[in-house]
Chain A
């Protein structure tokens, strides 16, 4: 193995290069070669196919592997005696309680909320732990902002635009500074992604464990949010044409209207890349959480039998063999036997 002094920065540099390449490809393709049909129609359909088939394929693969044992991580008091308060969401006993536990993970990031950081021993000060909710804060801010942004974008794909989408759009624009409206979710998204990236670069432990696979989606999201913001606040965009394109795609009557700037195609290509990449990456942690056996199983194994589909027989040491082996010693110690009286010929 060759010592690689720049090993740690190879990951982010490769990831950044990959994202820049994606930008250049779409820019050159649209601006240079005029391939608006390819980038406006072929790419999104391809990405959608990859996303849905890849996603489904992975879910089927996971579903095929059984949960041979019921192994929830218990994060609170078990259900036992009636007068002892049972911690229903952290140690679920019923299916409903399991759903509550999963919901607390999905919507509130319950486990991450527990996060602590280690304060190593210094001098006479013993090891201690400080609450470290900031990881939780930025993670949850990022995910909610991403969700809001995606949800807002539904207005491109619906006609008429459903009330909830309009409502979210209006709420999201509550800041009402300048024209066009500032979308808070987009700003939070970009800010949170930057923080999540910064911790991978600046925290030595994080830098040590991070891979190309961790930097790539972060850069991709940064580029997506930035191109989106550029369109909204700087370059401007012909939203009517974009909506026409989107509606065409979703109704399977694709056509690329005139007047859509190259910036949009770059933004769109990056989004398609993210979608196509999603099922083959760690981003599958999103559906994965629902499959996680330490979170989605009830801790009631003593009350209800949990079958193992491949339960294998074992040749355990039978009592009869044990008794035969220790017969004389057991007789002498007065331990009752199955076969009385001891048969003289069976020493071993």
Chain B
């Protein structure tokens, strides 16, 4: 079942040689290690997605509905009418090639269909054939082709080799955004019941249970309590957070990656320490426990379906506003979609920091702020005592997560926190950070186990940049503000750049945070010995 992952030496020899056949005559090869498993019948049924059934990617027969072509073409027509982005991006590409070598999947695979321009042409060719006069009359000559099962397989292959990171869109002279193409392309595929297991399962669990990993309310509470026990050992302070508490001022929502897996849990400990130190009137929710949104990797309606619970819960609990944790695509949704999809939340108020009094006017409508914004404001007002020497064993660089960088633009806040929480900070080359940041290679629901080769190829560009600072500055820590990063990057580092640990920004902050009444700190949040001077108090 599992395929052997090639060695880094094998994988780093990337063949940029183009095929001898034109791309339309080169069928997609669905290769193990590159594709993800098919979505399961029960998971599709759980959220009433079309055509639930058991099927396998490897099979000839994908068990499509008989009128699948009609479904796709009608679905495409419908979306062209509903999304100006799609219509425009189908019409105006000039194939200048500026995007070609900007995609991390192209850089890591050399596969020309991973050039954003061709990824879009896969869909555009069908659009031309069916919706434009020239395409109908002149066909292949003008880049138009019929929708066949081969084309459908190609869509499936390449729309699940895109992490919707938008790096290409930054460089495109017209702002053509492959994320839009991929999101809508996946939406079309989902009309036929073609999703991947990793996404479909998470969506089904999130819908019913409240988070992607299907952690039930009592287990959710247990895992947070467990982190608090660890914190008591490290700091000597007993933290008792509340759950589903009505009347709290703030609802805190983060991604499930932060409360179930190493190293996300260490970031979560950072949140818990910070909130306790501030004596913040906040609550967790077991019902709206998930900030991440795998619905966004399925389609707009499913994104809305999962996101809707957050405002509903905020209203039920009667909080004033929402703070969101460190998560990438969660923040793309919070920043660019949540208000439109499920707002405006008139029952909430414009966020005001209870500690500094700062009004977060830029969140006056959505009423949700990022924890990095919240914490940066605290530090700027001198409300936190930080001992950066506790992170002196860490030589840190920062990975901007794509969604936060290019779908929001929060570049300075996390850096400000890092500059206060640690003494040794080094930037990666500028072509690989901030708005030009490279994806971890596993975003948009692709961080499954079976597509490990794809993930290692996709993360190659990011890893190269880390390797650069590892060599140059002895960097041993890669900080990030994304839960998928925290799951995906450790594997990527082990593979390409061993000896580099992955942390959240609030983990480093938690290490540095000097708490009232704490015992002399000898351990960091991972339970590892702190460097030399530990008795700073």
Contact = CB atoms under 8 A, between A and B. Distances in A.
Interface string A193-207: 000000100011110
Nearest to B22: A7
A128 interface: yes
A155 interface: no
Interface string B58-87: 000000000000000000000011111111
Nearest to A66: B84
Nearest to A65: B84
Name the residue among B177, B373, B465 with the largest chain A CB count within 10 angstroms.
B177
B243 A335 contact: yes
Nearest to A203: B97
B408 A78 contact: yes
25 contacts: A2-B25, A65-B88, A74-B406, A77-B412, A78-B408, A80-B413, A90-B435, A118-B101, A121-B464, A126-B464, A129-B431, A293-B85, A302-B334, A302-B335, A305-B343, A306-B340, A314-B308, A318-B312, A319-B316, A322-B208, A330-B217, A330-B218, A333-B217, A336-B245, A336-B246
Contact of B118 (A3, A74, A209): A209
B427 interface: no
B406 A73 contact: yes
A305 B84 contact: no
B340 A70 contact: yes
B232 interface: no
B263 interface: no
Contacts of B143: 211-213
Nearest to A323: B287
Interface of A: 1-5, 7-8, 10-11, 14, 58, 61-62, 64-71, 73-81, 83-85, 87, 90-91, 93, 105, 109, 111-112, 114-118, 120-121, 126-129, 135, 139, 199, 203-206, 208-214, 280, 282, 284-285, 288-289, 291-295, 299-308, 310-312, 314-319, 322-323, 325-326, 329-330, 332-336, 338
A84 B362 CA distance: 13
Contacts of A284: 91-92
Q: For B14, B101, B133, B432, which residue has the most chain A Cβ atoms within 10 angstroms?
A: B101
B355 interface: no
A115 B134 CA distance: 31
A46 to B, nearest CB: 17
A73 B166 contact: yes
A144 to B, nearest CB: 15
B3 interface: no
A65 B406 contact: no
Contacts of B132: 280
Nearest to B19: A208
B278 interface: no
B207 interface: yes
A282 B94 contact: yes
A205 B114 CA distance: 12
A317 B309 contact: yes
Given A65-B86, A206-B100, A329-B217, 17 more contacts: A70-B336, A73-B166, A74-B409, A84-B412, A118-B107, A126-B467, A129-B432, A135-B96, A208-B112, A211-B141, A212-B142, A288-B92, A294-B175, A301-B336, A302-B334, A314-B305, A333-B221
A305 B376 contact: no
B14 A120 contact: yes
Contacts of A210: 95
A112 B173 contact: yes
Contacts of A10: 141
Contact of A316 (B133, B243, B305, B339): B305
Interface in B389-412: 405-412
B146 to A, nearest CB: 12
Contacts of A319: 287, 309, 312-313, 316
Contacts of A336: 243-246
Contacts of B280: none
B173 A214 contact: no
Contacts of A79: 362
B23 interface: yes
Most chain B beta carbons < 10 A, residue from A8, A118, A209: A209
A207 to B, nearest CB: 8
Contacts of B210: 322
Interface stretch (B36-44, B363-371, B450-458, B487-495): B363-371
Nearest to B370: A80
Given A84-B413, A316-B312, A111 B22 contact: no
Q: Which 7 A-B pairs have the closest CB atoms?
A: A74-B409, A78-B409, A288-B92, A294-B175, A333-B218, A118-B101, A65-B84
A216 to B, nearest CB: 9
A210 B141 CA distance: 11
Indicate the member of B287, B309, B334, B465 with the most A CB atoms within 10 Å.
Answer: B287
B98 interface: yes
Contact of B435 (A74, A139, A289, A330): A74
B7 interface: no
A219 to B, nearest CB: 15
A111 B96 CA distance: 13
Nearest to A83: B380
B363 A302 contact: yes
B296 to A, nearest CB: 11
B121 interface: yes
B514 interface: no
Contacts of B461: 127
Nearest to A121: B12
Contact of A305 (B107, B117, B365): B365
B482 interface: no
Contacts of B376: 81, 84
A58 B90 CA distance: 13
